Amino acid sequence: MTPRKPMIAGNWKLHNTIAQSKELARAIAAHVGQGLACDVVVAPVATSLSAVREAIDGTAVGLSAQNTYWEDSGAFTGELSPLLLLDAGCGYCIVGHSERRQYFGETDAGVRKKVAALLVHKVVPIVCIGESLEQREAGKTLDVVLGQIEAATDGLDAVALAPLVVAYEPIWAIGTGRTAKAEDAQEVHQAIRERLGELKGQSWATSVRILYGGSVKPSNADELLAEPDVDGALVGGASLSAKDFIPIIDAGVRRAES
Ligand code: PEP
């Protein structure tokens, strides 16, 4: 049995009205109930956080934001803060998603500040890292990914980082239908865990959950989750329908029980 509780997280990106978010959250909450052997988290758009919070109330489904700023408050028009995310009921926040890095100028330094600010407020960061196709083809995958995780955790020790979740998401696999081979995902996950062990100590590195993201669907979830260092999944497209997301949750439960 894995020493780490698996996690299945759904990133709804810029999708779903409040009504649609509520309906999806209710269907997931009905399946999860008081809790399963794997953690389940959903990340709706900010405008739906409050409705989803109500829909999952009393169940074990966790609520996540998709992004944050690092200051608590101030003259930062358009931003959200860890303090306000906590106030809105978020236990988690995705940080450094490749879409934010690619379209919104998110940098490693900014990711590091966001991670630190979230940890201060006890909101669990789900830190996304991953290489582009060009970088993979140039044999730079590990350099890129290990550099990103090192930067995101720089100056933070294992005590501060305790609840952190890492999501390895090869950019070429996000929303493309192309999934990393399970053994390739395992190779990168193992390298991430080893580097975290060197940097922060083995004990924390053994406990940190490393999710895989990139076109995870019901048909490939079991194979990916069978790898020893793949502790769950961050799911985009397939998290938008309960019909697809629930079987992925069930794959997480099977991993916990294997
Ligand atoms: C994501 O956006 O985090 C993601 C993994 O998307 P998809 O599952 O659609 O590839």
* Beta carbon of 175 within 6 Å of any ligand 1 atom: yes
CA–CA separation, 253 and 17 (whole Å): 29
Q: Is the dihedral of CA 32, 218, 91, 229 positive or negative?
A: positive
Candidate list 106, 131, 169, 227, residue with the active-site label: 169
- The answer to whether 169 is a known catalytic residue is yes
| Beta pairing partners, 43 | 11
pLDDT of residue 156: 97
**pLDDT at residue number 21:** 98
CB of residue 64 inside a 6 A radius of ligand 1: no
> Cα of 101 to ligand 1 centre, how many Å?
14
pLDDT attached to residue 175: 85
Instruction: Determine the distance separating the centroid of ligand 1 and the alpha carbon of 232, expressed in angstroms.
Output: 13
Over the chain (258 residues), the average pLDDT of each successive run of 10 is 88 98 98 96 98 98 98 97 97 98 96 98 98 95 98 97 97 88 96 98 97 96 97 98 98 96
Is 137 noted as a catalytic residue in this protein? no
Task: Show the domains of the chain with their CATH numbers.
Answer: 69-237 (3.20.20.70)
d(CA 76, CA 173): 33
Q: Tell me the CA–centroid distance for residue 175 and ligand 1, in Å.
A: 5
Per-residue model confidence (pLDDT) at position 95: 98
Dist. CA 75 → ligand 1 center (Å) = 32
Q: Which residues pair with 93 in a beta bridge?
A: 65, 125
Q: Is the CB of 232 under 6 A from ligand 1?
A: no
Task: Output the 3-class SS for the chain.
Answer: CCCCCCEEEEECCCCCCHHHHHHHHHHHHHHHCCCCCCEEEEECCHHHHHHHHHHHCCCCCEEEECCCCCCCCCCCCCCCCHHHHHHCCCCEEEECCHHHHHHCCCCHHHHHHHHHHHHHCCCEEEEEECCCHHHHHCCCHHHHHHHHHHHHCCCCCHHHHCCCEEEECCHHHCCCCCCCCHHHHHHHHHHHHHHHHHHHCHHHHHHCEEEEECCCCHHHHHHHHCCCCCCEEEECHHHCCHHHHHHHHHHHHHHHHC
- Judge if the beta carbon of residue 96 lies within 6 A of ligand 1: no
Q: Which has the closest alpha carbon to 65: 8, 9, 145, 148?
A: 9
Q: Given this model, what pLDDT does residue 2 score?
A: 62
**Predicted structure pTM score:** 0.97
